């Protein structure tokens, strides 16, 4: 079988490797000069396990299920964080600390209760130390390039995907199956109706004194301080990182291109003010380095869901990415629809569940747990 993949982000690279291992002929077309550009590295570098999504069960359970598979398939692509602290804001959170912890427990997630004061945190209901990890983009990029080898075509922008009775064509080359992994930047194949493109900004900081790990304040209009690489941390805030909603990727990117220093000063002021509320030593601990711009593709819905989904029309699949480790949701869906057996085994976290009704059964358990 001949598979053509558009986009060399996390999804395109992972699916490229999966299909190579299945014995297919694979071409991955990436417009940029390297893999893992755009959103695949311009993000918070958090390897999700589920702690981040108390209000959205599908996203939470997708990451709960995919995290162990990611660790198994890519053991060198992430690093532990010594103290990865999640805390629940007294004032701004949409769930209280007790409910938050019960949801995490009911989802099978482990954590240790810690004293917020030991981590310089104020104005919160309680805090936990989690096992969430830091993604290593350099290692992932190097490995993906090496393993994809000649299947990878860099500097290769796809301008047309045409479906036909016997296959689909990418820039005139025919494939049995084409997979659009551009996070909907390329408008081809089936796309979700209620989606939009969101320009984003995170702020990079250097630590002026040793920082204990990572701090995420839940849940709603709150901030995070997360390590990015050896030298940098990122600061983000739900209300100020998201910068608007646009119909096309190009419009969202154009917004980012026009951001001025004065705009950034306002964002920095707003984010710092919020960070100081729950982490009063922020200014003594961190020095501003510069912005990280990116574009997020999102569904418009109330629970802030970031589910991964796949749609198929004719010979073309479209992948709507959620989180990075949920690449396996896309893998399972596409392999199943093409009649392959999944490469990596599904981890049975809830072996007694009726999988047909997995979602509603888990919802019922969560309802019971949170009373």
Ligand X SMILES: Cc1cc2nc3c(=O)[nH]c(=O)nc-3n(C[C@H](O)[C@H](O)[C@H](O)COP(=O)(O)OP(=O)(O)OC[C@H]3O[C@@H](n4cnc5c(N)ncnc54)[C@H](O)[C@@H]3O)c2cc1C
Q: Which stretch binds ligand X (CB under 6 A): 66-74, 176-184, 278-286, 340-348?
A: 176-184
Is 294 a binder of ligand X (CB under 6 A)? yes
Under the binding rule (CB under 6 A), the answer on residue 217 touching ligand X is no
Give the nearest residue (CB) to ligand X.
9
Span of 65-73, 212-220, 257-265, 319-327 interacting with ligand X by CB under 6 A: 319-327
CA 36 – CA 45 distance, rounded (Å): 12
> Applying CB under 6 A, does 44 fall inside the site for ligand X?
yes
Residue 108 backbone class (left: φ over 0; alpha: ψ -120 to 50; beta: rest) = left
Query: Nearer to ligand X by C-beta: 183 or 211?
Result: 183
CA distance 109 to 235: 25
Q: Which of 45, 58, 85, 362 binds ligand X (CB under 6 A)?
A: 45
Q: Of 215, 223, 304, which is closest to residue 268 (Cα–Cα)? A: 223
Chain centroid to CA 81: 18
Which tokens is 90 given?
A: 């007294």
Among 81, 124, 158, 310, binds ligand X (CB under 6 A): 158
Query: Which DSSP state fits 325?
Result: G
- From residue 105, alpha-carbon distances to 95, 114, 366 in Å are 15, 16, 9
What is the chain's percent helix, strand, coil content, to nearest 5? 35, 30, 35
Least distance from ligand X to the Cβ atom of residue 224, Å = 9
Q: Are 205 and 288 in contact (CB under 8 A)?
A: yes
Determine if 157 is a binding residue for ligand X (CB under 6 A). Answer: yes
Query: Which 8-state DSSP code applies to residue 117?
Result: G
Q: Is 153 in the site for ligand X (CB under 6 A)?
A: no
> Please, which residue, 88 or 201, has the CB nearer to ligand X?
201
**What tokens were used for 57?**
């069960």
Q: 247 Cβ partners below 8 Å, 6+ apart?
A: 196, 197
Cα distances (angstroms) measured from residue 326 to each of 75, 283, 323, 349? 15, 35, 5, 15
Considering beta carbons, is residue 101 or 324 the nearer one to ligand X? 324
Stretch that binds ligand X, among 1-9, 100-108, 208-216, 278-286 (CB under 6 A): 1-9
What is the closest distance, in whole angstroms, from the C-beta atom of residue 117 to ligand X in the complex?
27
- Footprint (CB under 6 A) of ligand X, residues 178-207: 181-183, 185-186, 200, 202
Q: Is 10 in the site for ligand X (CB under 6 A)?
A: yes
DSSP code of residue 354? -
Q: Give the nearer residue to ligand X in terms of CB position, either 93 or 182.
A: 182
78 sits near ligand X (criterion: CB under 6 A): no
By beta-carbon proximity to ligand X, the closer residue of 32 and 105 is 32
Q: List residues near ligand X by CB under 6 A.
A: 6-12, 29-32, 37-40, 43-46, 48, 157-158, 181-183, 185-186, 200, 202, 294, 296, 321, 323-324
């Amino acid at each position: 079988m001949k598979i053509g993949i558009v986009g060399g982000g996390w999804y395109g690279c992972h699916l490229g490797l999966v299909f190579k291992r299945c014995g297919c002929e694979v071409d991955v077309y990436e417009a940029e000069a390297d893999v893992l550009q755009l959103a695949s590295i311009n993000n918070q570098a958090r390897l999700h396990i589920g702690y981040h999504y108390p209000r959205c069960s599908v996203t939470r359970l997708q990451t709960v299920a995919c995290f162990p598979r990611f660790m198994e398939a890519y053991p060198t692509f992430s690093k532990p964080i010594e103290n990865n602290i999640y805390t629940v804001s007294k004032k701004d959170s949409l769930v209280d600390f007790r409910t938050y912890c019960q949801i995490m427990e009911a989802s099978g997630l482990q954590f240790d209760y810690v004293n917020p004061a030991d981590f310089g945190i104020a104005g919160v209901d309680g805090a936990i130390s989690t096992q969430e990890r830091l993604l290593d983009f350099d290692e992932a990029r190097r490995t993906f390039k090496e393993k994809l080898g000649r299947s990878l075509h860099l500097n290769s922008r796809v301008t047309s995907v045409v479906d036909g009775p016997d296959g689909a064509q990418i820039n005139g080359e025919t494939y049995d199956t084409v997979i659009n992994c551009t996070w909907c930047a390329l408008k081809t194949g089936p796309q979700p109706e209620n989606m939009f493109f969101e320009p984003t900004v995170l702020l990079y900081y250097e630590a002026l004194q040793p920082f204990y790990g990572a701090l995420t304040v839940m849940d709603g209009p709150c901030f995070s301080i997360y390590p990015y690489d050896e030298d940098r941390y990122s600061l983000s805030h739900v209300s100020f990182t998201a910068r608007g909603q646009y119909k096309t990727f190009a419009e969202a990117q154009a917004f980012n291109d026009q951001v001025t220093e004065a705009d950034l000063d306002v964002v920095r002021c707003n984010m710092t003010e919020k960070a100081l509320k729950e982490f009063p030593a922020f200014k003594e601990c961190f020095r501003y380095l510069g912005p990280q711009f990116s574009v997020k593709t999102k569904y418009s819905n109330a629970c802030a869901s970031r589910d991964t989904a796949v749609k198929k029309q004719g010979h073309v699949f479209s992948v709507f990415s959620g989180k990075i480790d949920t690449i396996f949701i896309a893998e399972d869906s596409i392999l199943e629809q093409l009649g392959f057996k999944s490469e990596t085994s599904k981890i049975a976290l809830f072996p007694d569940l009726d999988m047909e009704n997995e979602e509603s059964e888990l919802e019922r358990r969560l309802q019971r747990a949170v009373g």
